A and B are shown apart, each in its own frame.
Chain A
Amino acid sequence: MSEMTTGGPHRDAVPPDVDLERVWTRVAAEVWQREPGRLERLVGRLLDAPGLARALVSTPSLLLPWVIASVVVLGVGVAATVGSGEPLVALLAPAVAAAGIAYAYGPGIDPAWELSLSMAVSDRMVLLARAVAVFAIYALLGLAATAASGATAAVTFGWLVPMTAVSALALAVATVTRSANAGVGVGLAAWCLTVLAGQASSGHLAVAVSDQSLFVYYAACAVICAAVVVHATRAPGGVR
């Protein structure tokens, strides 16, 4: 441990009643202090919890690469929608959001998850805040993409319900298996099967997001998956 930085070459010239350690700690506190970004300050104020705000902006799924990847996917969806006339943004958004939600969770993804289980800010609160934030970002991106592709308002709001269900499924699987990859895989597979089954039964690719009778099943799926997540994190500190 040879890199101690207190003191310095002129230590002997300092009057004996000056506590150099304390002075240095104050200086270091000023120099090392990290100024929170605009988003973090806003969230901190809204939630009245700076710890939760930091946890929120530290999630992998809110980092810039994720947002860029989502913009690209939904941008391709817009182009394909314009070209084909099918509401592909509405079909893509649930799958993209599910991936974001699964990667918002801790075990296997959050490197310091074990440590965060012992914190005063509950891991379930961190999980909830991250899931809501990811969902909100994808909802905004999806809305913008759908508006750009000229789809109708019914379809725009139609994909929000399946998006909730698929995201909840991905989160539940990620929670139970402690693997974000498993959550993404199951979420994507379930959504692909739903879309394909809808096309097979009706001949329309978009029936999975336009048939309102399906929304009851999506809502039921979301509720059941939310219950699974609550159950899996019920013990103090949650999972084993």
Chain B
Amino acid sequence: MNVEIKEVSRRFGRSPAVAGVSLEAGPGVLGLLGPNGAGKTSLLRMLATVLQPTSGTMRLLERNPSAYAERKEIRRRLGYLPQNLGYYPGFTVAEFVEYFALLKEMPADRIPAAVAAAVERVELGGRARAKLRTLSGGMLRRVGIAQAIVNDPELLLLDEPTAGLDPEQRVAFRELLRDIGQHATVIVSTHLVEDVGAACGDVAVMDAGKLVFHGTPEELTVRGEQGHGLGDAPLERGYSAVLIQARTAANLVEARG
């Protein structure tokens, strides 16, 4: 398993962002769904070793991220696209991707070809020498994806990767995800249920810091048929049914408590 986390929690002050999440994931694409504030970004940041859990245990790529040397090794094999990725406006597309390849400690002789391949995979070859300040939001998002995949990661974490992409780009991106997911673990946080249906073999739903569903998109669809889900597409109804169920259960516990 590339990701094994048990009872992982993270608090910011008194408010819990992630509350006792356990999750295992091997190669494949896992879609992480949930409303705003559900804890998706905090969970991804912990998986990216950017944020330390308050409690619980984590093993990533069969290593312990709290040990310095193992964390460094994880980071060499990790690809991460944060929700708010900042850019150096004076860098070109190729320079930006190369910079992060260097920080990932890729072997220097492999970097030029890896940069070229990553830039081509996000179809920015024609703009490789353009300054980042001249690119549109969608192109910048693709630059972010390119830096995430430049080291051919074994664990790829993408936080809202399709934000700013047009429909055609999103279709191409889903294809890229499926391709990478054949050999790596890809975890994609998104608001877009259709992205999950099209690209993910597994789906997890978070609400109020907890994991309230983990299964296949088909299983999520079935939950929509059984429950009282809202939405136009079957997967949307499954998603909303899971959320309604989770909140009803939480309210009951609160009322009893």
Contacts and interface: CB of A to CB of B under 8 A. Distances in A.
A50 B91 CA distance: 17
The 4 closest A-B pairs by CB, nearest first: A111-B86, A51-B102, A29-B112, A28-B116
Given A3-B123, A33-B112, A116-B103, 4 more contacts: A32-B119, A111-B89, A113-B86, A118-B78
A3 B125 contact: yes
A115 B48 CA distance: 9
B86 A110 contact: yes
B72 A120 contact: yes
Nearest to A26: B113
Interface in B88-127: 88-89, 91-92, 94-95, 98-100, 102-105, 108, 112-113, 115-117, 119-120, 123-127
B71 interface: yes
Contacts of B104: 51, 119-121
Contacts of B123: 1, 3-4
B105 A51 contact: yes
B66 interface: yes
Interface in A14-55: 21, 24-26, 28-30, 32-34, 50-51, 54-55
B203 interface: no
Contact of B50 (A2, A54, A114, A120): A114
A50 B102 contact: yes
12 contacts: A3-B125, A3-B126, A21-B120, A25-B116, A28-B125, A33-B115, A34-B95, A50-B102, A54-B102, A118-B80, A119-B104, A122-B72
Q: Taking each of A3, A54, A113, A120, which has the highest tally of chain B beta carbons within 10 Å of its own beta carbon?
A: A120
B172 interface: yes
A5 interface: yes
A115 B112 contact: no
B76 interface: yes
B57 interface: no
A1 B120 contact: no
Nearest to B74: A120
Given A25-B120, A112-B87, A240 B103 contact: no
Contacts of A120: 72-73, 75-76, 103-105
Nearest to B128: A32
Nearest to A119: B103
B49 A236 contact: yes
B100 A115 contact: yes
A117 interface: yes
Interface string A94-137: 00000000000000001111111111111000000000000000
A25 B50 contact: no
Nearest to B52: A235
A111 B87 contact: yes
